[in-house]
Amino acid sequence: MKLFAKYNRLNILATIVIFVIGSCTFYLVLNYILVRQVDSGLVSEKEEIRTFNRLHGSLPEIVNTKDQIISYSQADKIEKTSYKNITIRQKHNESFRSIQFNVDVNGTNYVVTVNKSLEETEDLLEAIIIVTIAMIALILLVGYFINRAVLGKLWQPFYNTIQKIQNYSIAQKQEIIFPETEIDEFTLLNRSIALMTRRAQDDYQSLKEFTGHAAHEIQTPLAIMRNRLDMLIQDEALLQQHAQPLVDIEKAVNRLSKLHQSLLLLTKVEHRQFLLDEEVEMSKIVKDKVYEYRELAGARSLNIEADLQETKILFHQHLAEILVGNLVNNAIRYNVKEGGIFIKLTNERLEIANTSSLHAIDKQHLFQRFYRDPMAKEEGTGLGLTIAKQICDMAGFNIGYKFVEDMHVFVVTFRKPS
């Protein structure tokens, strides 16, 4: 949910609650005042009747109107003056405010009832309620558009900052520059982000230099080790005496070389040292990788079925080859003899499934560095799927795993063009 929508929703809700409470309070107070005015009129009528009785020794003649009804009745018991609301049925039910009081007429006690209509009061309250509701609706509507215009303008520097950050690439060696703003909080935000990006860029350059130096320094001893190992293997006398140790050393050197290359690639991917600005033909890459691994698959009598749709995506050629190669290699190495590999490529996804004697893999640890299934017999660096996951994360793809019908299935969902 966007910030404006969240604020607007809370603002409208709070405004409605305040208006409802205020309107109810206003209604009750106004109703109380109007009823008190009617009661004041009833008291005036009472005083006029009693005054007339004192002067003339009788009750005045009853003259009822639409808004006022008076009645007399004899009563033995003297009641206290009381007020109440009643409903009298004339043409239709009407509400009246009633007062009852005692009048002594020449020794005879009468109960006088004066009823004043509340129709005008109710009409006034109804009109006030309608006007209040209309005003609330108008205020909410006007407030919504005012907030939309004002907040949109106030938050524009924030959206400008977001756009700058989205377009920023640490690998391009460009300092991020924000436009000036009159709002102190946004100015502080921009300064903090600019400082943070400068530090990140410095760290990135330092790490990039370290990675390059480390790669070069490690590569040289590895090359020397390979060269010396080849010389030792060519010595037949030494080879006959120490064949197994030499084979073990060669395996260790090869493993160290692969591990070095994988870690170097993983570091570059994690620090986004690749630009994803090439149009890559994924169908051609999949075909090339299947052909490249045909001998390894043939050695295990694996059947590879591929359903490939012509697919082009914005990616990086080398990273695409590594991603597909790692997944295909993984499907071959952890397969069973005379098993199968099934590859499906569409514009939306790449799906690679393989038979295996292994159970379902733990998804929580599957893409972690150096993770190996305890039941796996194949040796490896433990970085193949980690590299695939990092490549997908950098490209905005989603890589997932599922175990269906005794088959391991890896699905790469491509990023949709914006």
10-residue stretch averages of pLDDT, the chain, 418 residues long? 74 83 84 85 88 88 83 78 67 77 86 84 81 84 82 83 82 77 87 88 77 69 78 76 77 72 68 76 92 89 92 88 90 89 93 87 76 60 81 89 90 75
Residues 368, 244: Cα–Cα separation, whole Å? 33
Concatenated DSSP letters for 63-85? ---SSEEEEEEE-SSPPPPEEEE
Under DSSP, the state recorded for 170 is: G
CATH superfamily of 278-413: Histidine kinase-like ATPase, C-terminal domain (3.30.565.10)
In angstroms, what is the C-alpha Rg of the chain? 45
Which tokens in the block code for residue 400?
Answer: 């997932």
Q: What residue type is 301 in one-letter code?
A: S
In the 8-state DSSP scheme, what is residue 337?
A: T
CA dihedral 80, 81, 87, 91 (to 10 degrees): 120
Q: In this predicted structure, what is the pLDDT of residue 358?
A: 79
Closest CA to 398 of 348, 359, 343, 353: 348
Q: Angle 156-167/119-154 helices, nearest 10 degrees? A: 40
Output the pLDDT for position 215: 67
The beta-strand segments (E) located in 147-234 are: none
Report which of 130, 25, 42 is spatially closest to residue 86, judged by C-alpha positions.
Answer: 42
Q: Environment class of residue 11 by beta-carbon count within 10 Å: exposed (0-12), middle (13-18) or buried (19+)? A: middle
**pLDDT score, position 418:** 46
Is the separation of the CB atoms in 313 and 280 below 8 Å? Answer: yes
pLDDT at 172: 67
Half-sphere exposure of 339 (CA within 13 A, CB side): 21
Residue 201: which of 164, 235, 224, 172 has the closest Cα? Answer: 172
DSSP state of 101: E
Q: Which two tokens stand for residue 200?
A: 């990140």
Half-sphere exposure of 354 (CA within 13 A, CB side): 23
Helix, strand, coil percent content, the chain, rounded in steps of 5: 55, 20, 25
136 class by beta-carbon count within 10 Å (0-12 exposed, 13-18 middle, 19+ buried)? middle
Burial of 391 (0-12, 13-18, 19+ CB in 10 A): buried
Contact criterion met (CB below 8 Å) for 218 and 190: no
Contact 70, 112 (CB under 8 A): yes
How far is C-alpha 287 from the chain's CA centre? 39
What does 5-27 look like in DSSP terms, one character per residue?
A: HHHHHHHHHHHHHHHHHHHHHHH
3-class state of residue 402 by DSSP: strand
Name the residue ranges covered by the structural domains of the chain.
3-152, 169-273, 278-413
Angle at 276 between CA 270 and CA 282, to 5 degrees: 105
Contact (Cβ atoms closer than 8 angstroms) between residue 85 and residue 95: yes
CB atoms within 10 A of CB 319: 23
